[in-house]
């Protein structure tokens, strides 16, 4: 039954048996700029729109929330829920309709295509699609196109999707895009109370949360996954690091040592005799291979091939079968998922991939970062590399990118409207207005848009971004377009190739203060100058220290 299959999930604390969601899950809130749902339930979401996307960063609880909503659908008994983990569809030719049919067959419902289409048309189904960000770009584009068709052909069919935030979500034009809200202090304490850990450690941890620990480390302790790992490592180290990379390293050490924070847990005997350093090196080579192949799920045979390849690449002798057993049974970074193996959480794959990259020599590091630049905002690899090796990312990746950007735009000093007109052609394929808001469709012919968003979000100063949002006042022209799009309930589209520096839309956007305006380009200029100054100061200090004693 679906309730048995999807109403349970494994946790970091108990990996042997899936646990009922209600024994450990604390529902998170979700919101948009206009909607706030503090207590998430299916009825509240569907009352606003029967097509919705729930976005959140790694470990925000998106997948568990979707299972929670599926159980809600089973209780409501108004629509037949169909739960599809999209990573299983990656690399297949199956359409969403094929996947729905296959899913129903798994539960003994062998329905003909004609009946399924009729059920879609009359709104009998509610689709739960988990992990749109976990499929490759080609499959993602196919799914987005199919969802667009489903919206047109079957408006009564409900669809709920989870994904990490990304620009492609704007292309789901009929969907409401929610963000998961961070756990409050009370929710964090409730989650800790529900987890099956040692009672003394939980009591101390909750006491520390109440005494200011939550406020000091809100970014970690308001994330369900990071909070869970923090509890796992708390008996190992009560100090919470400020960097996620240090945090993941501590988590790996705790999992490897198998500290007895877990209630009734025991330290499993490992089949390999590797120390933690060599075990981690092998894992990083394993992760870079799976990441390069775009896989978070693989068969046992595939996993063994990755490990055999790792053995060729590093000078460490180990038995691949024994190592894989340790990964699954002792360290629990890999878990069994039916006939396949998968990472206990995708963020571990990203951390060890970033670790491999930053430990590589400069030439290899440069090549790998260039190869994965298209994923710069799709996952956390670049951000984790930046934490571990900020100088290389900023001086050898970001700075050369900005130099080339300004060279291509022919900018030498000041940024004029002609430069801005060239810039928007690199960034977007169209500008459009919908429901009183203005959007840009990402230009996917290059990675300029993605890299600029990364710089804007992770390197530019908060004060600069806040300044860019304020702008110079409202534009009557833009406000009229927003108003018209809302009143007519339609999109007003401006293809980029039809715009130039004299077009009123370009002129008004240029003067504006939002992300689409020239202020974002000016922020890029400021970042470039700051990196130049930072590099110069560093060189001068090194020379003074080494040669002017």
Confidence of residue 364 (pLDDT cuts 50, 70, 90): very high
Sheet of 334-337, strand order: 297-298, 340-343, 334-337
pLDDT for res 261: 41
Task: Say if strands 19-20 and 8-9 run parallel, antiparallel, or are unpaired.
Answer: antiparallel
pLDDT for res 526: 94
Task: Say if strands 51-55 and 176-180 run parallel, antiparallel, or are unpaired.
Answer: parallel
- Find out whether 80 and 138 touch, Cβ atoms under 8 Å: no
At 178, which helix (H) or strand (E)? Answer: strand 176-180
Q: State the maximum Cα–Cα separation within the chain, in Å, rounded to a whole number.
A: 84
| pLDDT tens string 298-319 | 999 999 999 999 999 998 999 9
Task: Say if strands 51-55 and 437-442 run parallel, antiparallel, or are unpaired.
Answer: unpaired
Confidence of residue 469 (pLDDT cuts 50, 70, 90): very low
Cβ atoms within 10 Å of 65's Cβ, excluding its own: 23
Angle CA 318–322–323, to nearest 5? 65
pLDDT for res 468: 46
Confidence of residue 444 (pLDDT cuts 50, 70, 90): confident
d(CA 337, CA 185): 32
pLDDT for res 473: 53
- Region of poorest pLDDT, from 97-101, 185-189, 536-540: 536-540
As given in the structure block, the two tokens for residue 465 are 């971004």
Residue with tokens 């029967």: 50
Q: Is the dihedral of CA 100, 105, 106, 107 positive or negative?
A: positive
Mean pLDDT within 131-144: 85
- Find out whether 270 and 326 touch, Cβ atoms under 8 Å: yes
pLDDT for res 470: 39
R_g over Cα of the chain: 25
At 115, which helix (H) or strand (E)? Answer: helix 113-121
Mean pLDDT within 496-506: 95
Note the residue count of the chain. 549
Please state the separation of Cα 24 from the chain's center in Å: 23
Which of 247, 192, 233, 236 shows the shortest CA–CA distance to 214?
A: 192
- Region of poorest pLDDT, from 60-64, 257-261, 339-343: 257-261
Average pLDDT over the chain reads 86
Spatial CB neighbours of 273, under 8 Å, sequence gap ≥ 6: none
d(CA 160, CA 176): 10
d(CA 178, CA 160): 11
Please state the separation of Cα 64 from the chain's center in Å: 15
Confidence of residue 89 (pLDDT cuts 50, 70, 90): confident
pLDDT for res 548: 67
As given in the structure block, the two tokens for residue 498 are 């039809």
pLDDT for res 10: 62
Which of 327, 398, 389, 380 shows the shortest CA–CA distance to 357?
A: 389
- Find out whether 529 and 413 touch, Cβ atoms under 8 Å: no
- Find out whether 132 and 86 touch, Cβ atoms under 8 Å: yes
What is the residue-wise DSSP string for 268-282? PPPSS---HHHHHHH
At 212, which helix (H) or strand (E)? Answer: none
As given in the structure block, the two tokens for residue 246 are 């240090």
Write the DSSP symbol of residue 498: G
pLDDT for res 475: 84
Cβ atoms within 10 Å of 509's Cβ, excluding its own: 25
pLDDT for res 14: 59
Q: Which residue has the higher pLDDT, 135 or 323?
A: 323
pLDDT for res 416: 94
**Residue 16: pLDDT over 50:** yes
Mean pLDDT within 2-8: 58
Spatial CB neighbours of 374, under 8 Å, sequence gap ≥ 6: 137, 447, 450
| pLDDT tens string 231-277 | 877 766 666 777 889 888 988 888 887 644 443 444 557 889 999 99
**Residue 335: pLDDT over 60:** yes
Strand partners, 439: 432
Task: Say if strands 176-180 and 30-31 run parallel, antiparallel, or are unpaired.
Answer: antiparallel
């Amino acid at each position: 039954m679906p309730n048995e299959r999807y109403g349970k999930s494994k946790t970091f604390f108990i990996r042997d048996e899936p646990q009922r969601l209600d024994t450990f899950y604390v529902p998170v809130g979700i919101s948009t700029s206009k909607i706030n749902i503090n207590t998430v339930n299916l009825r509240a979401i569907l009352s606003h729109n029967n097509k919705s996307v729930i976005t959140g960063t790694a470990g925000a609880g998106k997948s568990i929330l979707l299972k929670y909503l599926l159980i809600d659908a089973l209780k409501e008994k108004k629509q037949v829920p169909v739960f599809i983990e999209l990573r299983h569809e990656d690399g297949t030719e199956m359409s969403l309709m094929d996947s729905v049919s296959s899913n129903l067959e798994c539960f003994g419902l062998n329905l003909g295509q004609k009946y399924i289409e009729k059920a879609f048309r009359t709104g009998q189904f509610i689709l739960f699609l988990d992990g749109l960000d976990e499929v490759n770009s080609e499959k993602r584009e196919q799914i987005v196109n199919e969802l667009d068709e489903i919206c047109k052909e079957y408006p009564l069919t409900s669809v709920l999707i989870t994904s990490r935030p990304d620009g492609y979500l704007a292309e789901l034009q009929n969907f409401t895009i929610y963000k998961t809200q961070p756990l409050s202090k009370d929710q964090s304490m409730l989650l800790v109370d529900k987890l099956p850990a040692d009672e003394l450690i939980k009591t101390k941890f909750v006491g520390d949360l109440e005494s200011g620990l939550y406020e000091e480390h809100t970014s970690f302790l308001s994330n369900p996954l990071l909070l869970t790992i923090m509890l796992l490592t708390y008996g190992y180290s009560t100090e919470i690091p400020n960097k996620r990379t240090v945090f993941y390293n501590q988590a790996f050490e705790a999992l490897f040592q198998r500290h007895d924070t877990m209630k009734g847990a025991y330290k499993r005997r490992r089949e390999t005799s590797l120390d933690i350093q060599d075990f981690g090196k092998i894992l990083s080579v394993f992760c870079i291979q799976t990441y390069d192949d775009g896989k978070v799920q693989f068969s046992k045979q595939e996993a063994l091939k990755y490990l055999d390849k790792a053995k060729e690449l590093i000078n460490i002798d180990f038995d691949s079968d024994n190592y894989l057993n340790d990964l699954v049974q002792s360290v629990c970074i890999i878990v069994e998922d039916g006939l396949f193996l998968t990472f206990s959480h995708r963020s571990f794959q990203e951390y060890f991939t970033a670790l491999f990259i930053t430990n590589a020599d400069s030439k290899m590091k440069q090549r790998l970062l260039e190869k994965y630049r298209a994923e710069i905002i799709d996952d956390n690899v670049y951000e984790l590399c930046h934490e571990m090796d900020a100088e290389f990312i900023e001086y050898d990746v970001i700075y050369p990118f900005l130099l080339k950007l300004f060279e291509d735009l022919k900018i030498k000093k000041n940024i004029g409207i002609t430069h801005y007109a060239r810039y928007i052609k690199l960034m977007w394929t169209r500008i459009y207005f919908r429901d009183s808001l203005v959007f840009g469709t990402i230009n996917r012919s290059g990675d300029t848009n993605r890299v600029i968003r990364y710089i804007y979000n992770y390197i530019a100063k908060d004060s600069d971004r806040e300044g860019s949002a304020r702008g110079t006042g409202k534009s009557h022209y833009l406000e009229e377009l927003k108003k018209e799009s809302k009143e007519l309930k339609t999109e007003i589209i401006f293809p980029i190739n039809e715009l130039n520096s004299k077009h009123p839309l370009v002129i008004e956007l240029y003067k504006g203060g939002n992300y689409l305006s020239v202020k974002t380009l000016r922020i890029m200029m400021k970042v470039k100058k700051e990196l130049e100054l930072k590099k110069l100061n560093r060189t001068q200090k090194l020379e003074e220290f080494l040669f002017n004693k």
